[in-house]
């Protein structure tokens, strides 16, 4: 069996595989060596597509187990969503426990909750164990932009406490949330004291350095264009280099579009955007009083937090075409001012976008595609917390312990209507409708 990447045009999502944008993350990134492109031919136990959180965590855990690992990255370390995202650590899977209990039953829903708690703990452990300087900070506010949502949020916090023993979710009234977030746009919500936020690019670079020290070989600017399965896998890169390996782990998330139509039918890339204000000085405390991250209840989520130098990092808006917008500050600014009109006088000094992979149910697509190819992608905005553990779970499957992969394979992730070819026009119409509903 063989599959290959379709040619990448300037309008495809592949065009987002580019050098890091001049984002605030890039401006404040820790030093990281350049990793040379793969040249010639080599053999390995495992080849990994993508040097984001999933691929780097898988590489780290496999290298620590003594396997020969090669990571092929089309751009640079963390130049996909792992180095451009909002940096937020949420609790649980991408869908809440009510959904999982109904879809999979109490037993598997409990296992998935436990996995999510382990995933959160793994992020803290990786940061501590490898000395990754990434501004890891506790606290995340879930902000309801409709008054009718507040009772549901409070009921869910009670459900997590009573069913799962989770005591960290504190319900917030309108007065309480407005004391924490300097906006009249929210009517209540919850403070997740065990959630948090971090510098995503520094986290990715730290994982890369840890994997390298463990013995993994990383190659940037080494885009895979062809995969052949015979005995194991035979991989060819864009510059003609080749790898023969027993396993291939596909960990490119939304930037794998065009590699494999079977996978494309389940994952769609979309573009999301963040802007950073000038430093706010004393005004920063008025925007977020407790330095927590904030994510609101809109379908197209507004998410924001303060940087260590007192900027507001505000994520707002999506686009569903296959290329990133150019004027990101101009695109994000109306979303920010709807929440914080008092910042109309504050300039936006950085603006950048990134491509993430979404699925129809917003649950990750984790599968054994064949005996030699495994995939974990489609985190739908929950990758900071979930991806490192899911990379570890892929590593476990390679090492002969597939039990947790088999649990993740139960996650309901159907194909998009129309499959790989028609998913864009059909889904864009639906996403646009939901985005408009946010403003009603």
Pair 232, 31: CB distance under 8 Å: no
Q: How far apart are the first and last CA of the chain?
A: 49
Q: What CATH number is associated with residue 44?
A: 3.50.50.60
CA distance 222 to 72: 5
Per-residue pLDDT of the chain (440 residues; tens, 9 = 90+): 555 543 332 223 333 455 566 799 999 999 999 999 999 999 999 999 999 999 999 999 999 999 999 999 999 999 999 999 999 999 999 999 999 999 999 999 999 999 999 999 999 999 999 999 999 999 999 999 999 999 999 999 999 999 999 999 999 999 999 999 999 999 999 999 999 999 999 999 999 999 999 999 999 999 999 999 988 999 999 999 999 999 999 999 988 878 888 888 899 898 999 999 999 999 999 999 999 999 999 988 999 999 999 999 999 988 877 689 999 999 999 999 999 999 999 999 999 999 999 999 999 999 999 999 999 999 999 999 999 999 999 999 999 999 999 999 999 999 988 655 555 555 665 555 445 555 55
pLDDT confidence of residue 2 = 59
Residue 411, domain extent = 2-84+201-259+360-436
CA distance 24 to 419: 37
Is 404 within a domain?
yes
Is 238 within a domain?
yes
Is 47 within a domain?
yes
Is 420 within a domain?
yes
Is 332 within a domain?
no
Global confidence as pTM: 0.93
CA distance 61 to 56: 9
Is 389 within a domain?
yes
Kindly provide the residue ranges of all beta strands, DSSP E only, lying in 73-203, ordered along the sequence: 88-89, 137-143, 169-172, 189-197
Give the CA distances from residue 387 to residues 122, 276, 300, 315, 402, in Å, rounded to whole numbers and listed in that order. Answer: 10, 25, 21, 20, 17
Number of structural domains the chain divides into:
1
* Other CB atoms within 10 Å distance of the CB of residue 156: 18
CA-nearest of 11, 23, 12 to 83 is 23
Residue 35 CB contacts under 8 Å (≥ 6 apart), including other chains: 73, 77, 208, 218, 219, 220
pLDDT confidence of residue 437 = 55
Largest CA distance in the chain: 63
Is 365 within a domain?
yes
CA distance 25 to 276: 10
Is 406 within a domain?
yes
């Amino acid at each position: 069996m063989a599959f290959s990447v379709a040619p990448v045009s300037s309008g495809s999502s592949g065009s987002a595989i580019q050098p890091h944008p001049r984002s605030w993350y890039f401006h404040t990134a820790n030093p990281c060596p350049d990793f040379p492109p793969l040249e010639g031919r080599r053999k390995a136990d495992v080849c990994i597509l993508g040097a984001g959180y999933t691929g780097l965590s898988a590489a780290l855990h496999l290298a620590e187990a003594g396997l020969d690992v090669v990571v092929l990255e089309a751009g640079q370390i963390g130049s996909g969503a792992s180095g451009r995202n909002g940096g937020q650590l949420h609790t649980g899977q991408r869908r809440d426990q009510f959904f999982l209990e109904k879809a999979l039953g109490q037993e598997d829903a409990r296992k998935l909750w436990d996995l999510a708690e382990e995933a959160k703990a793994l992020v803290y452990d990786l940061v501590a164990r490898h000395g990754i300087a990434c501004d890891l900070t506790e606290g995340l506010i879930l902000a309801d932009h409709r008054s009718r949502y507040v009772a549901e949020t409070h009921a869910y916090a009670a459900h997590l406490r009573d069913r799962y023993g989770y005591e960290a979710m504190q319900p917030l009234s309108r007065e309480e949330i407005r004391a924490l977030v300097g906006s009249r746009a929210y009517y209540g919500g919850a403070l997740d004291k065990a959630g948090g936020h971090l510098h995503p690019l520094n986290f990715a670079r730290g994982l890369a350095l840890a994997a390298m020290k463990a013995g993994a070989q990383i190659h940037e600017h080494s885009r895979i264009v062809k995969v052949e399965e015979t005995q194991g896998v035979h991989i060819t890169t864009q510059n003609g280099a080749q790898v023969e390996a027993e396993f291939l782990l596909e960990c490119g998330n939304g930037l794998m579009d065009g590699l494999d139509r079977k996978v494309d039918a389940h994952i769609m890339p979309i573009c999301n955007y963040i802007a950073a204000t000038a430093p706010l000085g004393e005004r920063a405390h008025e925007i977020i009083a407790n330095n927590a991250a904030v994510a609101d209840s809109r379908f197209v989520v507004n998410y924001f937090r303060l940087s260590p130098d007192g900027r507001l990092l505000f994520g707002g808006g999506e686009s569903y075409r296959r290329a990133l917008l150019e004027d990101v500050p101009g695109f994000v600014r109306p979303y920010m001012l709807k929440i914080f009109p008092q910042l109309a006088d504050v300039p936006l000094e950085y603006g950048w976008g990134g491509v993430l992979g979404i699925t129809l149910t917003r649950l990750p697509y984790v599968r054994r595609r064949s005996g030699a190819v495994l995939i974990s992608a489609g985190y739908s905005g929950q990758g900071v917390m979930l991806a490192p553990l899911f990379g570890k779970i892929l590593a476990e499957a390679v090492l002969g312990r597939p039990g947790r992969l088999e649990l993740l394979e139960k996650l309901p992730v159907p194909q998009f209507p129309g499959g790989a070819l028609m998913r864009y026009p059909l889904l864009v119409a639906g996403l646009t409708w939901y985005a408009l509903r946010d403003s009603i």
